[in-house]
Amino acid sequence: MAKGILIAAMDFTTCPEDEFHDWYDLEHVPERLRIPGFINAERWIDVGNPKISVATYDLDHVGVLQSPPYAAIAGANSSPWTKRTQRFRKSLMRYEGEQLFPGDKVAAKDAAAILLIAMNVAPEHEAEFNEWYNTEHIPALGGVTGTLSARRYRGTGATQRYAALYHLAAPEVVRSSEWRAAADTPWTRKLRPHFRDHLRFEARRYTRAG
């Protein structure tokens, strides 16, 4: 069975920073890691805006998010602390997806940064889009020096149906000439006009202060 992913990106500009990080580190992440099927949890802070948080969770499969243990702590069953901080944070993306390629990989260890891309594609180009992503785009970017893992997903429920997640040795990897050459091919340029609802997050690994 293909691995799953849960991604949550949010703006916490209006939330007290210490409370936001305490809630995430001391309750929210541990709560999820106790659920069978959650493999790991990683937190990231946007390179351009330190008030944007991204959290990524590898799952045994995306169906974990429909399991009774998860339902017991999510949605209406969220903790009082979660409900309190909800007033001060703005959701930018919540994505639940199944790994399309390679299918069975989890996050590379010791990554310093991630690049997260999410989008839709015009329906009449979807088959070619998937072929391009699987046979050219992900393998090419996955082979760039400093790319530790490259995976892509198809999700349900979010604005964006497709997402790609790259674990990187450093944020600067995506600005290297090698990355640019891998990302800008004739096939990519052909498909680019058909992309819709594009989202992009470049983020550094979050490290708890003190």
Detail the DSSP E strand segments found in the chain: 4-11, 42-46, 52-59, 90-101, 113-121, 147-155, 162-168, 195-205
Sketch the domain layout of the chain as residue ranges: 4-205
Burial classification of residue 143, based on how many CB atoms lie within 10 Å of its CB (0-12 exposed, 13-18 middle, 19 or more buried): exposed
Of 180, 27, 7, 202, residue with least CA distance to 93: 7
What local confidence, expressed as pLDDT, does residue 1 receive? 76
4-205 belongs to which CATH class? Answer: alpha beta
- Provide Rg for the chain, Cα atoms: 17
Helix, strand, coil abundance in the chain, percent, nearest 5: 35, 35, 30
Strands 195-205 and 162-168: unpaired
The yes-or-no verdict on residue 210 having pLDDT over 90 is no
Cα–Cα–Cα angle for 71, 153, 142, nearest 5°? 135
pLDDT in tens, 137-181: 999 999 999 999 999 999 988 899 999 999 999 999 999 999 999
Total-model pTM: 0.96
74 Cβ neighbours under 8 A, 6+ residues apart: 65
Lowest pLDDT segment from 34-38, 59-63, 153-157: 153-157
Q: What is the DSSP string of 77-90?
A: G--HHHHHHHTT-E
CA diameter of the chain: 52
